[in-house]
Amino acid sequence: MTDVLVIGSGGREHALGWKLSQSKKIGKVYFAPGNGGTTNNVKIAVEDIDGLAKFASEKNCLTVVGPEVPLSLGIVDTFTQKGLRIFGPTKAAAQLESSKVWAKHFMKRNGILTAQFEIFDDAKEAKEYAKSIDYPLVVKADGLAAGKGVIVCSNTLEATNAIDEMLIKNSFSTAGSKIILEERIDGVEASYIALSDGNTAIPMATSQDHKRIYDDDKGPNTGGMGAYSPTPVINDSLAEIIQKDVIDKTVDSMKKEGNKFKGFLYAGIMLKNGKPYVLEFNARMGDPECQPIMMRMDSDLYDYINASIDGTLSKLPLISWKKQSAVCVVLASKGYPESYPKNEEISGLDFQDKNSFVFHAGTKRENNKILTNGGRVLGVTALGDTLNSAIFNAYSRIEKISWQNKYFRKDIGKKGLLAL
């Protein structure tokens, strides 16, 4: 039996560890640093690459990387050099996420459909460009910004304010020292995630994230306020197009450029007039998309992760999925994505229910109490025979959980119902 080290502390990592622990081939699942809902937590920060490598070596663990930061720091390169088994892309391959500028140039030179764009590091030049065009813009920070470095603008004033935020006020630090101004494409957004071994890519279940903080997609972007799977906005024929023209083309192009991509490849897609435009790539599983996807996965995740590391995915069948829908509603601390209170005691977590599971994110355990410890606190995830029943089951479970400054969106999955 193999022990596994899951790196990260969010709901995504809890869900990955939860799914891996169901494999008969796995012994212990460790989390570094983990959260209040995970067991076998190891107090090593995700940026402490050498500390993580030392632990993985001592325990002879297979390592699964959850968040983007250690990938951008080259954790996979370091582990591989030390002869340690690790799942995820190299530092060079992770540029698909760690540099939006790099990713846009990659898409352009390889004919992957994306919005028109220009790159700037000078505020005056960027503003002149924003005033010169007659369509609305999206302003994006080049580097990693925890899902918040994208400002969707409706007019020139909003665009120039966003440019000031990034290039003059340095609101996103070095992540915003270079920015992208791209055409705003209005359509339906969905998430398409695949698992790649550098040669082959196997699709995961489709899903749809809800990025904005308030109902009806109002307010600023967050790391994600909820997700559901599968999404009716991606039907079978559209899934085939995305797989061929986005995922397979990306994996093939990365390989041709001498930069094999292994790991979860996530394409944020905007559907307009039946065409899939790539808004962004992530070099890891989405959060909160991971939670409903893992709830629906029937196959053994461990087999697919091993095959990805070994380059043998083509020998495995497609992943099998429960026919049910799954919905994840994120419970956040009021004030997120800005400042928010911490250390509030959470009650109602003991309730057991075969249709739902509560994945922890921003929590910690102190004196046998679970306290809030982040902006996104829990991911309440439920199955249902229909999307409607999955929504009902998730919100029914939420009613039993409380803390002083609990906040959540009340419309997760509604987009899916409208598309049915």
Residues 261 and 248 sit within 8 Å (Cβ to Cβ): no
- Which band of pLDDT confidence, cut at 50, 70 and 90, is reported for residue 420? confident
When the pLDDT of each residue in the chain is averaged and rounded to a whole number, the result is 95
Same domain, 306 and 329: no
Residues 165 and 148 sit within 8 Å (Cβ to Cβ): no
Residue 96 within a domain: no
Cα separation, 295 vs 325, in Å, equals: 9
Cα separation, 97 vs 109, in Å, equals: 17
The string of DSSP codes covering 159-202 is HHHHHIIIIIS-TTGGGGSSEEEEEPPPSEEEEEEEEEESS-EE
Same domain, 291 and 250: yes
Last residue of a domain, one of 315, 349, 377: 315
How much is the pLDDT for 352?
82
Residue 36 within a domain: yes
Average pLDDT over residues 51-71: 97
Residue 84 within a domain: yes
Same domain, 193 and 284: yes
Segment 264-317, tens digit of pLDDT:
999 999 999 989 999 999 999 999 999 999 999 999 999 999 999 999 999 999
- How buried is residue 134: exposed, middle or buried, by Cβ count under 10 Å (0-12/13-18/19+)? exposed
Say whether 1 sits in a helix, a strand or coil. Answer: coil
- Cis peptide before 89, with omega less than 30 degrees from 0? no
Tell me, what CATH number does 245's domain have?
3.30.470.20
Same domain, 281 and 350: no
Cα separation, 159 vs 307, in Å, equals: 45
Tell me, what CATH number does 331's domain have?
3.90.600.10
Residue 182 within a domain: no
Residue 165 within a domain: yes
Same domain, 206 and 301: yes
Residue 148 has pLDDT above 80, yes or no: no
Same domain, 287 and 365: no
Average pLDDT over residues 1-10: 97
Residue 146 has pLDDT above 80, yes or no: no
Query: What b-and-e string marks burial along 262-281, b requiring 16 or more CB atoms within 10 Å of the CB?
Result: bbbbbbbbbbeeeebbbbbb
Between β-strands 208-209 and 363-366, what pairing exists: parallel, antiparallel or unpaired? unpaired
Range of the domain at 76: 2-88
Residue 116 within a domain: no
Same domain, 215 and 283: yes
Average pLDDT over residues 385-390: 98
Question: E strand or H helix at 257, and its extent?
Answer: none
Last residue of a domain, one of 145, 177, 209: 177
Q: How many domains does the chain have?
A: 4
Same domain, 132 and 163: yes
Same domain, 390 and 284: no
Residue 52 within a domain: yes
Tell me, what CATH number does 7's domain have?
3.40.50.20
Say whether 381 sits in a helix, a strand or coil. Answer: strand
Segment 320-338, tens digit of pLDDT:
999 999 999 999 999 999 9
Residue 306 within a domain: yes
Last residue of a domain, one of 248, 280, 315: 315
Tell me, what CATH number does 161's domain have?
3.30.1490.20
Same domain, 309 and 196: yes
Say whether 218 sits in a helix, a strand or coil. Answer: strand
Q: What is the DSSP letter of 11?
A: H
